[in-house]
Structure formats: structure tokens, C-alpha cells
């Protein structure tokens, strides 16, 4: 295998990884601050993608489409938080799982009702179409490179938000001591709505960005959300830094595994069998990674020791 192909795959892995991070960051933030497990996070991803595809179809502007994805997902997040989610904070995880599972059904079927079962398409904007040449003579799609850039910018932005702003101080306080923050006179329910909407907006953004390279359809969110769970388990619940490291690890492992394992097995067995065993094993690779982390560090790479 050529070096160029390998670097391309690493970049693909990074692109996949940063999108997972944008998903996982919202999930882990919501869990860290409110103690809530939200299965409907994938629905917000889907809502962002549908909003973007719709607005892009109407206006032809990709930037407006991205803005729409952020706005639609944030709005959906805020509404859901106020109507349903805030009744769940004091409940046990089982109730949270069920209620948010119900939300998935409602969002998925509602979207299918509005948009039908056929996938929508969201085009990569003209100004990001085509490849860019990277040092070393590598040609890489500009759009995917842009995704990596956006993902890293989100990581940086989140870090700045949490480390440098008043909102961030409140979020950190909320993670460590809920009563304290209420005692300080912070309107906790407003803070929760804000954090939830922020996580939702990130999920929506991820949905829109990925929607332009895959199709926009009902059910697109849940597989990504489950991968985001894997990321959180590996990174440690509530840790943004852990989410970033684990996302990139999962993204690169999954992408490279799919390419390299069949090649590796071809060294020791017939090509057709190698393809078979290699790709089957590659499909399990990140879960194996998760299992290894669980054995070595049950609370995740950056999780607080239980």
C-alpha cells in the first residue's frame, strides 16, 4: 500500500473522528452537567441535516444551510428540554433511556411523515468542491479538510467556552455541585436549557456537515450516536478532553482498520478469505478497542476514578 493512500486514510479517519467528537461533546456535556443519558441525541443530528438540506434546497446557500442546522437543532433541543427532558433529571437512568427512546420514535416518524422515506441530498458547496493539494503531492477533498477544520474549531471553541467564560464557570460548577450553584443564585433551569441546546446545536451541525457527504435520511443519527457512546466510554464520561482523544482514536482506528486489516490478513491467507475475515474483524475493531479500555481503565481514559 502506498504512503499516499495511507495518509489519505488517516485524514479520512481524522475527519470521521472530529465529527464523532462534535456529537460526543454534546452528549458528554449533557451527562456531565445534568446527569442525563440522552438517546435522542442522534435525532438532533438528523434534524440538523434535514434543516440544512431543506434550506440549501430553497436558497442554494450552504452557509445559510449550516446556520439553519444550528438553529433548528438548538431550537428542537431547547423545546424538548423544556417539555420533556427537565422532568427526567430527577429520574433514574432507566426512565431517561425510555423517554429519550420514545423521543427517537417521535422524531424519526415525524420526520418521515414530513419528508417521506426517500433520502434528501445536500450538495457540497462549489467553493469546497474538488481536491486541495497537500504537501507531499497528496490530493485531498477540500470539503473533508474543511470538516476537520470545523471540528477542531469546535473543540477549541468549547475549550475556550468552558475555561474562559462565565457560562463555562457555571457549567463546571454545575458538574461538581448542583446545590452550590443554585445557592449562588444561578438560574439552574435556564442553564440546563442552554447547555442542552448547545449540545443539540453541535449535533445538528455535525448532521449537516456529514449530510453533504452521505445522504440525509431518517435513522441516520442513531449509528453515529452509538459510536459517540463508544467514544464517551473510552474517553471517560463528562470529559471533553477525553471525548476529543477518544473520537480521534475511534475515527482513525475504524477507518484504518477497514483498509489495513484485509491487507494484513492477505499476508497469511487467501485474498478472498482475507477480505472476508479482515472486513468482519474491522467492523468489530472499535468495540474491541472499547473492551480493552474497559479492562484496563473501567472509567475511561480521562474519567474520574470510580
Partner 1 sequence: MIAEKHLNWLISAVLLAVPVAAWLAGEVYTVTLATRVAVLALAGVGLNLALGSGGLVSLGHAAFFGAGGYAMGILASHAQSYQPLMEWPFLIEGTKSMPVIWLVAIASGAISALAIGVLSLRTSGVYFIMITLAFGQMFYYFAISWPAYGGEDGLSIYVRNGFPGLDTLQPIQFFALCYALLIVALVLCARINASPFGLALNAVRQSAQRVETVGLSPLRLRLTAFVLSGAITALAGALFADLNRFVSPTMFSWQTSGEIMVFVILGGVGRLYGPVIGAAVFIMLEHWLGGVSEYWQLFLGVLLLGVVLFARGGLIGVFARRRVGHG
Name the residues that contact partner 1, by CB under 8 A: 31, 37, 84, 87, 93-95, 97-99, 101-106, 108-110, 112-113, 222-223, 226, 229-230, 232-233, 237, 276, 279-280, 282-284, 287, 290-291, 294-295, 298-299, 306
Cα–Cα nearest to 105, from 89, 78, 82, 84:
84
Nearer to partner 1, 35 or 119 (CB): 35
Task: Compute the least distance from the CB of residue 205 to partner 1, in Å.
Answer: 22
Question: Please, what is the angle between helix 41-59 and helix 62-83, to 10°?
Answer: 140
d(CA 254, CA 88): 34
Tally the residues of the chain: 306
Radius of gyration of the chain (CA): 20
For the bound state, the minimum distance from the C-beta of residue 224 to partner 1, rounded and expressed in Å, comes to 11
Closer CB to partner 1, residue 114 or residue 139?
Answer: 114
Nearer to partner 1, 34 or 74 (CB): 34
Closest CB to partner 1 among 168 and 219? 219
Q: How far is CA 108 from CA 81, 94, 183, in A?
A: 17, 21, 39
Q: Where are the beta strands (DSSP E) in the chain?
A: 131-134, 138-141
Q: How many CB atoms lie within 10 A of CB 257?
A: 23
Residue with cell 435525532: 43
CB nearer to partner 1: give 15 or 28: 28
- The Cα–Cα gap between 236 and 298 comes to 9
Give least dist CB 3 to partner 1, A.
Answer: 27
Helix (H, G, I), strand (E, B) or coil at 133: strand
How far, in Å, CA of 240 to CA of 29, rounded? 7
Task: Name the grid cell of 17.
Answer: 473522528
Number of neighbouring beta carbons within 10 Å of residue 191: 19
Identify any residues that bridge with 120 across adjacent strands, giving them in sequence order.
216
Closest distance of CB 122 from partner 1, Å: 24
Specify the residue, 84 or 134, whose C-beta has the smaller distance to partner 1.
84
Distance of closest approach, residue 301 Cβ to partner 1, in angstroms:
13
Residue 180 or 284 having the CB closest to partner 1: 284
Q: How far is the CB of 166 from partner 1 (least distance, A)?
A: 28
Q: Shortest distance, CB of residue 295 to partner 1, whole angstroms?
A: 7
Amino acid at each position: 500500500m502506498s504512503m499516499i493512500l495511507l495518509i489519505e486514510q488517516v485524514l479520512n479517519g481524522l475527519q470521521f473522528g472530529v465529527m464523532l467528537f462534535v456529537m460526543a461533546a454534546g452528549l458528554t456535556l449533557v451527562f456531565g452537567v445534568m446527569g442525563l443519558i440522552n438517546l435522542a441525541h442522534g435525532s438532533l443530528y438528523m434534524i440538523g441535516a434535514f434543516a440544512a438540506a431543506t434550506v440549501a434546497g430553497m436558497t442554494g446557500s450552504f452557509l445559510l444551510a449550516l446556520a439553519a442546522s444550528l438553529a433548528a437543532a438548538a431550537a428542537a433541543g431547547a423545546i424538548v428540554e423544556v417539555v420533556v427532558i427537565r422532568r427526567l433529571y430527577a429520574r433514574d437512568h432507566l426512565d431517561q433511556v425510555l423517554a429519550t427512546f420514545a423521543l427517537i420514535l417521535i422524531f424519526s416518524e415525524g420526520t418521515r411523515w414530513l419528508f417521506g422515506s426517500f433520502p434528501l441530498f445536500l450538495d457540497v458547496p462549489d467553493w469546497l468542491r474538488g481536491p486541495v493539494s497537500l504537501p507531499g503531492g497528496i490530493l485531498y477533498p477540500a470539503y473533508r479538510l474543511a470538516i476537520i477544520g470545523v471540528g477542531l474549531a469546535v473543540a477549541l471553541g468549547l475549550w475556550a467556552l468552558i475555561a474562559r467564560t462565565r457560562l463555562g464557570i457555571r457549567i463546571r460548577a454545575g458538574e461538581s455541585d448542583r446545590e452550590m450553584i443554585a445557592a449562588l443564585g444561578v438560574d439552574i433551569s435556564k442553564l440546563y436549557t442552554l447547555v442542552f441546546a448547545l449540545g443539540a446545536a453541535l449535533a445538528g451541525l455535525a448532521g449537516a456537515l456529514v449530510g453533504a457527504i452521505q445522504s440525509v435520511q431518517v435513522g441516520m443519527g442513531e449509528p453515529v450516536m452509538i459510536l459517540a457512546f463508544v467514544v464517551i466510554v473510552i474517553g471517560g464520561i463528562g470529559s471533553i478532553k477525553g471525548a476529543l482523544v477518544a473520537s480521534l482514536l475511534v475515527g482513525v482506528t475504524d477507518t484504518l482498520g477497514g483498509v489495513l486489516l484485509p491487507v494484513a490478513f492477505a499476508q497469511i491467507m487467501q485474498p478472498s478469505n482475507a477480505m472476508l475475515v479482515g472486513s468482519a474483524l474491522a467492523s468489530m475493531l472499535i468495540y474491541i478497542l472499547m473492551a480493552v479500555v474497559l479492562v484496563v481503565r473501567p472509567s475511561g481514559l480521562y474519567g474520574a476514578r470510580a
